[in-house]
Structure 1
Amino acid sequence: MIITGSDSSTIFEVKQHLFRTFKTKDLGPLRYFLGIEVASSLKSYFLSQVKYANEVIHRAGLTDTKLSDTPMELNVKLNTTDGVPLDNPTLYRELVGCLVYLTVTHPDLAYIVHVVSQFVSAPRSTHWAALLRILRYLRSTIFQDLLFSSTSSLDLVAYVDADWKSKKQIVVTRSTAETKYRAMIHATAEIV
């Protein structure tokens, strides 16, 4: 039975068991793992992928200094027929895969990366342009990373716009309370 927690003697025993059983070393506190930089203090943990993001931008050959305020243009609908097919779609596929991994510390990219990943089987010039815009946005937000407080609770909190939901629902409600209740049900279902 392995016990976890802050009991230093038990942690020491577990480490010694691992050292005897496997060829392992204690490298000290976690600082860098799988492209994620970790900085910790007594009250927080900071996760960053700055180095990895810079490598992705360099891999794309993005040499200009243009930045983007948003990861995608407003009201742009990508489809499978606009633009011309890419001569070599391998780089597109590799970059989309890298961006999927970058969503670990950049959740703001999740939606647009999902959109461009739908075209990896046959990417076109419009998809490449959208990918470059994502990379320019990433370059402008590269130092905006995740900070987790070690003292905060692990409560899951969700927010919902009941007014927006009431405009989208297919049934008519009789009161604002019922509208808010329906919005809460929908949000709960989305979380689950």
Structure 2
Amino acid sequence: MIITGDDLQAISNLRRYLGEHFEMKDLGPLNYFLDLQVSSCPDGYYLSQAKYASDFLARSNIIDSAIEPTLLYSDVRLTSFDVPLEDPTLYRQLVDSLIYLIVTHPDIAYAVHVVR
């Protein structure tokens, strides 16, 4: 459970109350949660998936690939005959990883939707 807010007394009271009713362990300040790196700043929290993205690139064997801008037109449609990879299971795993990457990179949402 993640408890956050700007009222430290209320957070302390909630933690004490929950601790009386449930077995709990305080893991300290939040750094990582569900492959999201969390950084706290005076003006809020920042989320990053840099490690998740790096692991994704390594898992897909595209670490050393050249970056190339590509245009994706709004009328692009893939069919079941458009098979970008020979292994459909690997393809689904990669697309699922990209879907989760949208959490911190909404700019790729449309492209991921097309290949989904």
Give the TM-score band, short-chain normalised. Answer: 0.7 to 0.9
- Which ranges in structure 1 are unaligned for 5 or more consecutive residues? 118-192
The structure, 1 or 2, with the larger RCO (C-alpha pairs under 8 Å, 6+ apart) is 1
SS at match of 2:42: coil
Question: Which whole-Å CA distance do the structure 1 matches of 2:51 and 2:29 have between them?
Answer: 19
In the alignment, the residues of structure 1 paired with residue 115 and residue 49 of structure 2 have an alpha-carbon distance, to the nearest angstrom, of 21
Work out whether residues 49 and 101 of structure 2, in 8 Å CA contact, stay in contact via their aligned partners in 1: yes
1:73 aligns with one of 50, 56, 71: 71
Aligned length: 112
Tell me how far 1:9 sits from its aligned partner: 2.8
The CA deviation at 1:58 is 1.0
Q: Which position in structure 2 is the counterpart of 1:102?
A: 101
The reply on whether 1:53 has 2:44 as its aligned counterpart is no
SS in 1 for 2:38: strand
**CA shift in 2, pair 1:40/1:87, >3 Å:** same
1:88-108 residue CA offsets vs partner (Å, 9 max, x unmatched):
200100111111110010000
The DSSP-based 3-state class of the residue aligned with 2:114 is: helix
Hey, what does 2:20 align to over in structure 1? Answer: 20
Any unmatched runs of 5+ in structure 2? none
TM-score by length of 1: 0.51
Offset at 1:29? Answer: 2.1
In structure 2, how many angstroms separate the alpha carbons of the residues matched to 1:85 and 1:66?
18
TM-score, normalised via structure 2 length: 0.79
Q: Distance in 2 between matches of 1:109 and 1:85?
A: 18
CA root-mean-square deviation: 2.5
CA 1:50–1:11 in structure 2 vs 1: closer, same or farther (change >3 Å)? same
Residues 78, 114 of structure 2: 8 Å contact kept: no
- Trace 1:35-50 onto structure 2 (pairs within 5 A): 35-50=35-50
Q: How far did residue 79 of structure 1 move?
A: 2.8
Shift of 1:77: 3.0
Sort the Cα spacing of 1:87 and 1:65 in 2 relative to 1 into closer, same or farther, 3 A. closer
Query: Residue 84 of structure 1: CA displacement?
Result: 5.5
- Following superposition, the deviation at residue 63 of structure 1 comes to 4.1
